[in-house]
Amino acid sequence: MNSQRSVVICGGGIIGLCSAYYLARAGFRVTVLERKADGADSCAQGSAGYISPSHVIPLASPGMVWKGFKWMFSSRSPFYIQPRLDGELLRWGWLFARHCNQAHVRRAAPVLRDLCLVGRKLFVELADITGDAFELKTEGLMNLCKTQEALDHEAGGLAALANELGVEARVLNAGQTSALEPGTKIDVAGSVYFPIDAHLTPRKFMPALTSLLKEMGVKFHWNTSVYGWHAEGGRIAAVHSTAGNIHADEYVLTGGSWSPAMLEGLKIRLPMQAGKGYSLTLAQPRFQLTKSLLLKERRVAVTPMGNQLRFGGTMEISGINERIRPERVQQIIDAVPHYLPEFNAQDFSGIEPWSGLRPVSPDGLPYLGRFRGHRNLTAACGHAMLGVSMAPSTGQLVSEILLGRKPSIDLALLNPDRFA
Ligand SMILES: Cc1cc2nc3c(=O)[nH]c(=O)nc-3n(C[C@H](O)[C@H](O)[C@H](O)COP(=O)(O)OP(=O)(O)OC[C@H]3O[C@@H](n4cnc5c(N)ncnc54)[C@H](O)[C@@H]3O)c2cc1C
């Protein structure tokens, strides 16, 4: 046990809450600071809820520079970078381009796999502990390919790499795909099925974990913003927050897309862009699925959550703002009937779109580890499209780091000072 040491978690999204959980379990006195009311609007809440060991290819991968450049001129594309003159964005873009190669994919894929596989295992444990409070489903994920060209590409690329890394990927034809998902008609050339993938209902997970943390004695300061630090002799002595200066032995940065701004005053550079995504949730879908689907060419995720059905997607690099762009939401709605012809635009009429900001590092890997210049400050942010999948493994690794144990996953590639 470690009951003497205190830790402040700066940001109460899914990474902050999971870090709090594994630290409290390890015996730390944990306080969470969250600038919003009760964490009800963090990025995970409106996410697709995938737990995805299948996502072994980082966003920074071959072909993405050209695609990003081409898509920059279309605000309806799945990945959209709003052109603007901003030094941080230019540097991020330059670093991103440098990582769009096969060598980086080869290095990053085993780390992403391990973070997601451990995450999945820990979600199963958490489901057990909370009495299945968050509707964990372990039926797998199907990447639906509308065209044969996309299916061949998926089979030779992602499926081959996943199988090589021990993540089972089955290439299915149209008939086999429909047989695996009897919930609605599917009109595709085929799919790649990943049986190990799972999904959950994020709007149930976050409150369930918060209740569990309160029972474990974790303190929450809601409506509390971090705005600075008191640093002394290579360590943090206190965090300045709107609830006053808070002193602790250890500090964990879990501010998602806001993490770089939260570091202001510490002279730490943490390249990150907010990747906005949208989701639409049907409360009473006319057809319900048994497993989660990815509409591959259009990059739209479809996830059954209890009785509800959620459609989410798009990646929009347009700075930190919550502005909803109707043309990007429409792009999600338009994609659906191409793959699932029993759905139509009417299904979405009157549905309020949700938006959230993914914290996207330029190499597609999270920042996880102690900062060189401030040894009691640990980064746990930058999980991009996989923050739900990796939240429990990240939390467990944060506790291993703070306990001074050898991390159970090699963190060399995740060093938060790698771009300093
Ligand atoms: C449409 C969409 C679909 C997605 N689908 C999936 C999926 O299926 N599977 C998956 O694995 N991932 C998915 N993701 C990604 C995932 O949701 C994110 O990676 C993850 O939620 C990031 O969590 P976080 O805790 O790092 O950040 P956040 O959720 O952004 O949490 C950071 C918290 O810090 C708080 N904060 C900010 N500034 C301050 C401050 N100054 N002081 C105090 N608190 C502060 C914020 O209010 C926020 O609550 C999806 C994302 C989107 C947008």
> Per-residue pLDDT for 208 more than 60?
yes
Angstrom distance (rounded) from CA 344 to CA 339: 11
Angstrom distance (rounded) from CA 353 to CA 329: 7
Are 87 and 170 part of one and the same domain? Answer: yes
What per-residue confidence (pLDDT) applies to 74? 73
Mutate to test the pocket of ligand 1, among 35, 41, 43, 292 (most ligand atoms within 8 A of CB): 43
> Per-residue pLDDT for 144 more than 70?
yes
> Per-residue pLDDT for 67 more than 80?
no
Q: Does 128 reside within a domain? A: no
Are 262 and 240 part of one and the same domain? Answer: yes
pLDDT tens digit sequence for 380-420: 999 999 999 999 999 999 999 999 999 999 999 999 999 99
Mutate to test the pocket of ligand 1, among 258, 293, 309, 390 (most ligand atoms within 8 A of CB): 258
- What one-letter code names the amino acid at 147? T
pTM passes above 0.85: yes
CATH code (residue 327): 3.30.9.10
Are 190 and 289 part of one and the same domain? Answer: yes
Q: Does 115 reside within a domain? A: no
What per-residue confidence (pLDDT) applies to 66? 78
What per-residue confidence (pLDDT) applies to 248? 98
Q: What is the mean pLDDT of residues 111-120?
A: 98
CATH code (residue 35): 3.50.50.60
pLDDT tens digit sequence for 282-308: 999 999 999 999 999 999 999 999 999
HEC sequence for the chain: CCCCCEEEEECCCHHHHHHHHHHHHCCCEEEEECCCCCCCCCHHHHCCCEECCCCCCCCCCCCHHHHHHHHCCCCCCCEEECCCCCHHHHHHHHHHHHHCCHHHHHHHHHHHHHHHHHHHHHHHHHHHHCCCCCCCECCCEEEEECCHHHHHHHHHHHHHHHHHCCCCCEEEEHHHHHHHCCCCCCCCCEEEEECCCEECCHHHHHHHHHHHHHHCCCEEECCCCEEEEEEECCEEEEEEECCEEECCCEEEECCHHHHHHHCCCCCCCCCCEEEEEEEEEECCCCCCCCCEEEEHHHCEEEEEECCEEEEEEEEEECCCCCCCCHHHHHHHHHHHHHHCCCCCHHHHCCCCCEEEEEEECCCCCCEEEEECCEEEEEEEECEHHHCCCCHHHHHHHHHHHHHCCCCCCCCHHHCCCCCC
Are 103 and 230 part of one and the same domain? Answer: no
What per-residue confidence (pLDDT) applies to 3? 54
CB 58 within 8 A of CB 96: no
> Per-residue pLDDT for 84 more than 90?
no
Ligand 1 midpoint to CA 91 (Å): 22
What per-residue confidence (pLDDT) applies to 68? 74
Q: Mean pLDDT, the chain, as a whole number?
A: 95
What per-residue confidence (pLDDT) applies to 296? 96
Last residue of a domain, one of 314, 339, 357: 357
pLDDT tens digit sequence for 307-345: 999 999 999 998 999 899 999 999 999 999 999 999 999
What per-residue confidence (pLDDT) applies to 232? 95
Which ligand 1 atom is the nearest neighbour of the CA of 383? 19
Ligand 1 midpoint to CA 45 (Å): 8
Q: Does 55 reside within a domain? A: no
Are 138 and 189 part of one and the same domain? Answer: yes
Q: Is 257 in the pocket of ligand 1 (CB under 6 A)?
A: yes
Ligand 1 midpoint to CA 13 (Å): 6
Residues 6+ apart with CB under 8 A from 164: none
What per-residue confidence (pLDDT) applies to 2? 52
> Per-residue pLDDT for 82 more than 60?
yes
Q: Is 202 in the pocket of ligand 1 (CB under 6 A)?
A: no
Are 375 and 390 part of one and the same domain? Answer: yes
Residues 6+ apart with CB under 8 A from 350: none
| Domain, as residue range, for 27 | 6-44+204-272+364-414
Q: Does 120 reside within a domain? A: no
Last residue of a domain, one of 338, 357, 376: 357
Q: What is the mean pLDDT of residues 240-264?
A: 97
Are 191 and 324 part of one and the same domain? Answer: yes
pLDDT tens digit sequence for 18-37: 999 999 999 999 999 999 98
Last residue of a domain, one of 326, 357, 388: 357
Are 377 and 241 part of one and the same domain? Answer: yes
Which ligand 1 atom is the nearest neighbour of the CA of 42? 29
Number of independent structural domains in the chain: 2
> Per-residue pLDDT for 205 more than 80?
yes
Ligand 1 midpoint to CA 386 (Å): 10
